[in-house]
Amino acid sequence: MSQKSTAVATTDTSIDWQAVADELAGALRTTMLRNPTLNARDWDRASAALERYEGATCGVEVEFRNPADG
């Protein structure tokens, strides 16, 4: 069974960047959860990126968190 993207990436000549970002965030979450060998540094980087994404989608200004800051 093939999986189809749920995001509408293009409409005529424009790209729906929000749909692309939503799809990438979902793929990142899935990858993080399905990869038990993901090291702590990569987990932290991915988590920080998802925090910024979630803040942006909620209209909340999110301060950049350096992954090394924990």
Residue 1 lies in a domain: no
Residue 30 lies in a domain: yes
| Residue of 62 and 41 predicted with greater confidence | 41
Mean pLDDT over 22-47 rounds to: 93
pTM: 0.65
Q: Summarize pLDDT for 28-40 with one digit per residue, the tens.
A: 999 999 998 999 9
Residue 60 lies in a domain: yes
Domain of 27?
10-69
- DSSP sequence for the chain: ------S--EETTEE-HHHHHHHHHHHHHHHHHH-TT--HHHHHHHHHHHHHHHHHHTT-------GGG-
Look at the chain and report how many structural domains it folds into. Answer: 1
Residue 17 lies in a domain: yes
Residue 55 lies in a domain: yes
